[in-house]
Amino acid sequence: MFADGDPRLAQLLDGIVRLAAGELHSRIEVSPARDELDAVIMGTNLLAEDLQIMYQELEQRVELRTQLLREAHLEMQKMAMQDSLTGLANRAALVTSLNEAQSEAADGGLPPAILLLDLDSFKSINDKLGHAAGDQVLAAVGERLRESVRDTDVVARLGGDEFAVLMPATTRARAAGVANRILEALERPVEIQDDTVRCGASIGLRVGEAGQSAEQLLMEADVAMYASKADGRHRLQVFEPGMLHARQLRSQLVEELRTAITESELILFYQPVVELATGRSDGVEALVRWNHPVRGLIMPDEFIPVAEDAGLISELGGWVLRTAVEQLRRWRADGVAGENFSMRINISPADLQRLEFIEDVRDTLQNAGITPSLLVLEITEGAIVAGDELDRYSLNSLRQLGVGLEIDDFGTGYSSISYLRQLPVDKVKVDRSLLTDLGSDPSQPALIAAILQLIRACGLEAVWEGVETAEQAEHLRSIGCISAQGYYFSKPLPAAEMTELLVRQGRE
């Protein structure tokens, strides 16, 4: 027992209070008495020691965790702001920087400019060389973009093969200069593995105006880029308000086309394919037109590309297929078309990408009771050459089905003998541009003869399109061409008029 009023008791209580308040380094003094009270004091000091050590460890652990968290947070921020493939900024980062640049301009600085670019031939590189090679191309493009701009400019990949460059505080002239430098840089071939590939770009430029949001600027840069793509390739287009109107018209056209397909505003015209020796039609090519309720007859060059772009082409193509085959069935049933009279239809590259297309063709022919060889599918040379494995699979399946396959617009740029020999086609339609100079250009007859020989040597049949004069027809006949097509024989005609023409020919 200790005596009343022992001062150490007060010290002990005081010490415990200090420890409890968090002063873990404070200790209570032990007296020389070394009695029971001193034992409690020593025990309390030991406890304080333990507490202090535990607390320090805890503090270290918390610090470590905080550090880890901070790093993870930075990493996440980087990931959210960065495109992982190229290490460039991503859309979110671009939008943030663009908004900053706009508000700096609002404070009296120069406006920012935004370049949007889309690679022209990326899809075919990806298809031909595989995704790994595609990724390498994207990384190389990112590198070239970075080399073409200042450090203060932001280069971003927005996804796919779409890139953007933000130039804060700049002028239109400088931005256009940079854009042209980029176009040049992207013209240089890219080396990947054992291949070299070229991929030019289409660029849209928009210089910021007061009060515009980042989203709006990006949308308008996109509109300019679209115009650049539409206009032909490898060019810079600067945004103009008129482009917005064109875009609006286009989306209106898409909507109208959608209804046109279901509301049967489409019609087929038929143009005879003529046997040169006799002048008789041995078949027709179906050419689609759009009978627009307000605008009247619209030609396919105006709406086929729109349908392809808007994903409407397979519906349109399906309609053409069914309508043309039904017309052939009727002509045969009515005795207007002979045994071997054939129907040609034009198909789009997108059709070859759908396996159902082959079934469509088979079912349509079966339902109409028509021999497959009487249907000839025309596919442009460009579409076949650029094709991937699926395209080739479709072509082979169609061939197995027994339908005729014909290369259309032959001679417009891709001609290669090896393609002619490799592709599962049996006919070639020579583009009408090859005939236009016949008569005026003295070297043209030789060229035509050479092309005819080339096609024959590959075991294929040639059809000549765009025959407009008697001289052209006679020249082709004299060098041994079998069949031709063109205004000289007949323009494309509506079904009723085509029927009359066939009936007239039947009587001769």
List contacts with ligand C2E (CB under 6 A).
271, 287-288, 299-301, 304, 317, 320, 345-348, 378, 408-409, 432, 466-468, 485-487, 492
90 binds Ca ion (CB under 5 A): no
- Residue closest to Ca ion (Cβ): 378
Q: Choosing among Ca ion, ligand C2E, none, which partner's interface includes residue 55 (Cβ < 5 to 8 Å by kind)? A: none
| Comparison of 157 and 344: residue with beta carbon closer to ligand C2E | 344
Give whole-number Cα distances, 41 to 18, 29, 379, in Å.
14, 8, 99
Q: CA distances (Å), 251 to each of 41, 115, 248, 301, 315, in order?
A: 87, 23, 5, 17, 18
Shortest distance in whole angstroms from residue 285 CB to ligand C2E: 7
**Nearest distance from C-beta of residue 313 to ligand C2E, angstroms:** 6
Question: Under rule CB under 5 A, how many of the chain's residues touch Ca ion?
Answer: 4
CB of 427 to Ca ion, least distance (A): 11
Among 161, 256, 378, 381, binds Ca ion (CB under 5 A): 378
**3-class DSSP state of 118:** strand
Which is nearer to ligand C2E, 104 or 308 (by Cβ)? Answer: 308
Smallest distance, ligand C2E to C-beta of residue 314, A: 10
Any contact of residue 222 with Ca ion (CB under 5 A)? no
Question: Which residue from 408, 425, 464, 502 is in contact with Ca ion, where contact means CB under 5 A?
Answer: 408
- Among Ca ion, ligand C2E, none, partner that 15 touches (CB below 5 to 8 angstroms by kind): none
Whole-number minimum distance, CB 320 to Ca ion, in Å? 12
Contacting residue, 327, 409, 415, 475, with Ca ion by CB under 5 A:
409
User: Angle at Cα 352 formed by Cα 462 and Cα 363, nearest 5°?
Assistant: 90
* 236-238 and 201-207 beta bridge pairing: parallel
Query: From the list ligand C2E, Ca ion, none, which binds 468 (C-beta under 5 to 8 Å, kind-based)?
Result: ligand C2E
Rounded Cα distance between 245 and 182, Å, is: 28
| Nearest partner of 228 among 166, 162, 289, judged by Cα | 162
Whether 283 contacts 376, CB under 8 Å: yes
Minimum CB distance to ligand C2E smaller for 135 or for 315:
315
Q: How far apart are CA 506 and CA 489, in angstroms?
A: 16
Site string for Ca ion, 334-353 (x = CB under 5 A): ------------x-------
DSSP-assigned states of every residue in 58-113: HHHHHHHHHHHHHHHHHHHHHHHHB-TTT--B-HHHHHHHHHHHHHHHHTTSPPPE
CB count within 10 Å of CB 321 equals 23
**Closer to ligand C2E by Cβ: residue 183 or 328:** 328
Q: How far is the CB of 364 from ligand C2E (least distance, A)?
A: 14
Residue 385 CB, shortest distance to ligand C2E, in Å, is 16
Per-residue b or e along 459-472, where b marks 16 or more CB atoms closer than 10 Å to that residue's CB: ebbbbbbbbeeeeb
Task: State the minimum distance, in angstroms, from the CB of residue 232 to ligand C2E.
Answer: 18
Position with the least CB separation from ligand C2E: 486
**Residue 415 binds to Ca ion (criterion: CB under 5 A):** no
Q: Which residues pair with 207 in a beta bridge?
A: 113
Tokens of 16: 């415990």
**What number of helices (H) and strands (E) belong to the chain?**
18, 17
Handedness of CA 126, 130, 134, 140 (dihedral sign): negative
CA–CA distance, 124 with 122 (Å, rounded to integer): 6
Q: Which is nearer to ligand C2E, 168 or 466 (CB)?
A: 466
Contact segment (CB under 5 A) with Ca ion among 37-45, 148-156, 268-276, 404-412 equals 404-412
Given a contact cutoff of 8 angstroms between Cβ atoms, the answer to whether 189 and 196 are in contact is yes
**Largest Cα span, the chain:** 145
Candidates 292-300, 314-322, 363-371, 406-414: pick the segment binding Ca ion (CB under 5 A).
406-414
Q: Which residues bind Ca ion (CB under 5 A)?
A: 346, 378, 408-409
